[in-house]
Every structure is written in structure tokens, then in C-alpha cells.
Structure 1
Amino acid sequence: MDAAEKASMTLAKMTQRAGKVFPNYLAFTKEISQVGPIDHKTQELIHIACSVMSQCDMCISLHIQSAASLGASKEEIMQAALLACAMGGSPKIMQMHYVFDELEDLFD
């Protein structure tokens, strides 16, 4: 099971077990992504950088897959991830193996 599948399972369990809290959170995040001048592909590239900064392997996988499905190139995804490394230093560089794995699965 890859990271994206694990994340999907986790989100499904959260929906079942967190009462109204989690659906309200999802509604909040959905509303944020639908309002404003930033297109969805760019939002996903920002999510990639934030995922690397947060050191969340499942998030990295999900957001790279989403960005690619919205037309982001391998180079755009790499730049987003590397921007996080520039801001976060060595701990964020260690997260790049998740980025490389996902890019190999999607683009190579």
C-alpha cells in the first residue's frame, strides 16, 4: 500500500470516527481552495512545499499526485519541493526521497 492509499484510508476513518469535527474541517479547506485568485495547480504546488516543510510523507504523495493530475510538470513539482528545502534546511532535504519516489512512479 502506497502513501496515498494509506492517506485515503486514514481520511475515511477520520470521517467515520471524528463526528462533526472532521467534516467541518473538510468543508473549511474546500471553501479555501475554491475562493480566491490562485488556480488549483498552483495551490497543489504550494501544498507540496508545505508537505515537505511539515515532513508528512502521505501529504507529499497526495499533493504530488494531485498536482500532476492538474498538469504540473516534474520540474514544477521539484521546484516546489526544493523551495521548502531552501527554507527548511537539512531536515526537509531528508524528505526529498518521498518526492523522488512519487515522481519516479508518475513520470519515469
Structure 2
Amino acid sequence: MLNNWVNQMENTKAAVTPFAQNNPKMLSAFQALNAAQGANGALDAKTRELIALAVAVTTRCDSCIAAHANAARKAGVTEAELSDALGTAIALNAGAAYVYSLRAMEAHAQFGE
């Protein structure tokens, strides 16, 4: 097992207290942002959670993975659907690494001029 994702989510929730006490307006704004997500109803819950998990993978956010894996399970996301969405994340990350490699090559060349 790579991680205990249930514990990950519980630990993240527990760690919120000091932040909430010191920055309540930011926490409130973050919670409002999450509540507003999907409010127009154009995407169903399964689709939103598949997107959220793919983004969580590309941004390397373990707490996001835990929260959205839980929400995806509740929304009825299947293992096959999740695998397809994560395949897209993998392909996109590889594409981003390729494009940023070109940028690094260009930067290297410009410093030689």
C-alpha cells in the first residue's frame, strides 16, 4: 500500500484547525469556492470528480487525491472510468514535461548568446 488514504483525509481535516484559527477569512473563502464548484449543473458529480482526481494527480496533492477519491466513490465512479481519467492526466503531464523541456533548452541557448 502506498498510502492510507482514509488516514490522509482525516489527518488533513485535523490539521486545518490552526490555519482556520489564524486565517478564518481565507478558509471561509476556500470553502465557498468548493461549494460553488459545479453550481451551474453543467457537469454531473462523476465527471467533476474525475476531473478533480486528474488535476490532483498533475498537481501532486495527496490530500486532494484522498478527498476526491472519496467523493468519486460516492458519485459512483468506476475503476475503469478512473483509470481512463488518470491516463489522460499521465499523458498531459508527459506533454507538459515535453513542452517545458523545450523551454529549458531555449533558456539554456539564450544564456549562451
TM-score calculated relative to the size of structure 2: 0.68
Q: What corresponds to 1:8 in structure 2?
A: 13
2:24 to 4, 19, 25: 19
Alpha-carbon distance in 2 for matches of 1:86, 1:41:
21
- Runs of 4+ aligned residues of structure 1 deviating over 4 Å after TM superposition are none
| Number of aligned residue pairs | 91
Higher Cα Rg, which structure: 2
Q: What corresponds to 1:76 in structure 2?
A: 81
For residues 40-90 of structure 1, the C-alpha deviation after alignment (integer angstroms, 9 at most, x for no partner) is: 11101100000000011121121111101111101111211221111102x
- For the pair 1:86 / 2:96, whether they are aligned, the reply is no
Alpha-carbon distance in 1 for matches of 2:18, 2:83:
31
Cα RMSD after superposing both structures: 2.2
- For the pair 1:49 / 2:58, whether they are aligned, the reply is no
TM-score calculated relative to the size of structure 1: 0.71
The answer for unaligned runs of 5 or more in structure 2 is 95-113
Which secondary structure does the structure 1 equivalent of 2:38 belong to? Answer: helix
Partner AA of 1:46 in structure 2: I
CA contact (8 A) 1:7 1:59 kept: no
Identical counterparts, % of pairs: 27
How far does residue 13 in structure 1 lie from its aligned partner after superposition? 4.2
Alpha-carbon distance in 2 for matches of 1:74, 1:42:
13
